[in-house]
Structure 1
């Protein structure tokens, strides 16, 4: 059956004219004449047999049906644009990758290593997109995500990368303070890990649930360096600060408390560029002292 659909030119004219409530301003936006907009609207009204605009003197005003139809067509045009961009991204997948990554992991681990990937694969461009929490992967335009292990990835393909123990660190001036008097810092999405830490480390923390909370490990680290309190963070995030003496780790390391990092991709065959990135990422991950076994 032949589809009787309006032209995209007419729909773009309608959307712009409806948004501006003006043929003249729509014409200016679309770089055409006001007469061209008027003709496209008239052609659309004739095709639909519906009055979309009311002509009132020298101005135009959307009819009730016109306002409803214009809103629907705006959503349809947005969908077409979004799907077209996704297709173009897929078509360029041999040269461009969109990777979602935790900000602190990106700045302190991934980006310092990216030059090695570029040297090996100069034809592949890797764009990094900030993702602080697990998300609806299928609704994104990302090729992959590097994030924490999480139940949200159950329907995805998940490749373990490495895991790191959480280390208690603080400013050197606070290192000698008794645990019961040490202010504690927390990460928002980690519940109360200090209770678990105290139990495994055999340390008495009578007020383990109190203290300020932060969204990211990078903020926790900055707060610890500023002398605000003790933070539980993955060891590899603070190795430089520990070596330089800007942070101290006076309490025991608890191997039972770790962060496990994974690479998340869609099920099925992957673009060649993504396979190359995944192979390189696993090589880099294996250099971590506490790399998990590959599945």
Structure 2
């Protein structure tokens, strides 16, 4: 097994503090050691690296070019190590805060109604649900786990398929005009179609799937999220193409109706994505198990 080429952690901590303060005295005070001990540790680090990290003139010190480079590297590394340590300490036995990156409508319609059962199982975990549907960046978004729609192509992560998606055309019952009957899918060209801005080809996919020619489309409003499209359809602003599982309540109550019986499989699926760097955290493991159990 290859041996790591690393100096002592004490020497690195001392060097980082001296570089930050540009002073052995202040660094020694922070680390609760003597000034001579701090000086010896930094000197031992220079001997290990065989590189001078400071220039010393009289009672003043200054980082060398190599010291500047190494101080930035060591500082970032210690910050990362500290953050990971604090995170593990706060999450022992499944405790701590869990940040979940969630598609807005999926979170509202699917996750939140089920979330009480997770909280009952893990009362010490505080769940923070973050609206998230763009490019997935766990570090930038500060999230631990996410649910996304796509094709399962996320690197450096555990990717669990959750469910596929069936979509159907729906509208407000008041929108249906007896003078413009919807006997065939092609007849939908007589109505405005609500566009989903993050899925620009969904209507084209639907027409192709039902075997109809793509007509000249009379576009209605262009909206970003499914919950906006649901409300727009209920308000009579046009025909909407929506996942059936998101509108079960509206279909049952009659606030939305489906003029065609056909349902079309969407060109993607929902996935639970766990970054490899977080996969071993107890609270993340607990949430992943719980989500997958919801689908059994």
When normalised by structure 2's length, the TM-score is 0.66
Aligned to 2:250, what secondary structure does the other structure show? Answer: helix
Contact 1:200 1:254 in 2 (8 A): no
Contact 2:103 2:147 in 1 (8 A): yes
Q: Which residue of 2 aligns with 1:123?
A: 124
User: How many matched pairs?
Assistant: 232
1:195 offset after TM fit, Å?
2.1
In 2: Cα distance, 1:79 partner to 1:251 partner: 58
Q: Which residue of 1 aligns with 2:286?
A: 276
Q: Which residue of 2 aligns with 1:239?
A: 248
Q: Which residue of 1 aligns with 2:49?
A: none
In 1: Cα distance, 2:295 partner to 2:110 partner: 10
Aligned to 1:265, what secondary structure does the other structure show? Answer: strand
Unaligned regions of 5+ residues in structure 2, if any? 1-6, 23-58, 181-186
Q: 1:194 to 1:247 in 2, by over 3 A?
A: same
Q: Which residue of 2 aligns with 1:92?
A: 90
Matches within 5 A, 1:1-295: 4-5=15-16, 10=21, 46-48=60-62, 84-85=82-83, 87-93=85-91, 94-96=94-96, 97-137=98-138, 140-150=141-151, 152-176=153-177, 177=180, 178-203=187-212, 206-208=215-217, 210-257=219-266, 259-267=268-276, 270-286=280-296
1:192 offset after TM fit, Å?
2.3
In 2: Cα distance, 1:89 partner to 1:46 partner: 38
**1:116-154 CA-partner distances (Å, limit 9, x unpaired):** 111122122222122112313365532211111346513
Contact 2:250 2:256 in 1 (8 A): yes
* Cα RMSD, aligned residues only: 3.4
In 2: Cα distance, 1:174 partner to 1:83 partner: 59
In terms of mean alpha carbon deviation, does 221-230 or 139-148 score higher? 139-148
In terms of mean alpha carbon deviation, does 183-192 or 251-260 score higher? 251-260
Contact 1:135 1:152 in 2 (8 A): no
1:203 offset after TM fit, Å?
4.6
Contact 2:164 2:265 in 1 (8 A): no
Contact 1:165 1:259 in 2 (8 A): no
In 2: Cα distance, 1:253 partner to 1:218 partner: 22
In 2: Cα distance, 1:223 partner to 1:91 partner: 46
Contact 2:171 2:236 in 1 (8 A): yes
1:103 offset after TM fit, Å?
1.1
Contact 2:148 2:270 in 1 (8 A): yes
- The structure whose residues are more often strand, as a share, is 2
